[in-house]
Chains A and B, each alone.
Chain A
Amino acid sequence: MNREEYQKLVKKHEPKENKLENTIYSFLIGGSIGFLVEGIIQVIMNIFTIGRIEAGTWACLIVIFVSSLFTALGFFDDWMSKAKAGLLLPTTGFAHSVSSSALDYKREGLITGLGSNFFKLAGSVILYGILSAFVLVIVKVIIGG
């Protein structure tokens, strides 16, 4: 069997994913989360009569708490794989990555397991977020005076 035939064979047996369906799913789920978070913000603003920014931070913390809890209860992993980017891109994905690595590595000990692997998945978001923000502010300072 030559290389091309092999490639064809691999292609044939690759799991077929419906890309359009995935995209629609992600759109609907991601959109619903945006809608829901806006709802939470409005409710908090009205009940506690606080500003939009504080309410937004509370809403963010609520989302993080709920996704950590759902991850710990075990069914969030299934949701993540079904919803794909719809749950990955909102704050839910960030909270899920931290709490799932915390849960998975707990058995290897509190320092060498939990401690060293805590930011295993979320670390790149924090690292490149800080680096890009730092560089961009320096650029802004240089061009903006």
Chain B
Amino acid sequence: MIFIWAFLVAGLMCAVAQIILDNTKFTPGHITTLFTVLGAILAFFGIYDKLIEFAGGGATTIISNFGYLLYTGALEGYKEMGILGIFTGLLTKGSAAIVGAVVFAAIMALIFKPKD
């Protein structure tokens, strides 16, 4: 069942993004930024937790999950260390995605030549 929800949730998010992309002047950059902020907002209202619960990988693979991770990291940091924890905790959970993207992109850039 989780597979069906994973398909539906990820698919619907992408379909909504495509509809926005086709009918407005937004660029792909606008869309990814919009959905990241949306993820943080959904996390704020406790909706994204539930979405991950029933859609699993379908929800965690969408860029909104990055906003969710930043929000929950900051909130957990606050619970541990107060205001300082917001600063130290914000990037903890989102770290894997950023470090992964940086390291792999750097390796690829050093090994491969750009296609013209």
* Interface band, chain B: 35 or more
On A, residues with C-beta under 8 Å from B are: 17, 19, 22-41, 52, 56-57, 59-61, 63-65, 68-69, 71-74, 77, 84-86, 88-91, 93-95, 97-99, 102-104, 106-107, 114, 118, 121-122, 124-126, 128-130, 132-134, 136-141
| CB nearest neighbor in A for B13 | A89
- Is A137 a contact partner of B74 (Cβ separation < 8 A)? yes
Interface of B is mostly: helix
Q: Looking at the assembled complex, report how far the CB atom of A135 sits from the nearest CB atom of chain B, in whole angstroms.
A: 9
A19, A38, A104, A125: the one contacting B22 at CB < 8 Å is: A19
* B-side contacts of A99, CB under 8 Å: 101, 104-105, 108-109
- Is A30 a contact partner of B78 (Cβ separation < 8 A)? no
- Is A133 a contact partner of B67 (Cβ separation < 8 A)? yes
- Is A103 a contact partner of B2 (Cβ separation < 8 A)? no
Instruction: Produce 1/0 per residue, B76-99, CB < 8 A to A.
Output: 001000000010001100101110
On B, residues with C-beta under 8 Å from A are: 2-3, 6-15, 17-19, 21-23, 28-29, 31-33, 35-37, 39-41, 43-44, 55-63, 65-67, 70-71, 73-75, 78, 86, 90-91, 94, 96-98, 100-102, 104-112, 114-115
A to B CB contacts below 8 Å, 6 in the list: A30-B10, A31-B8, A35-B58, A39-B57, A77-B115, A94-B63
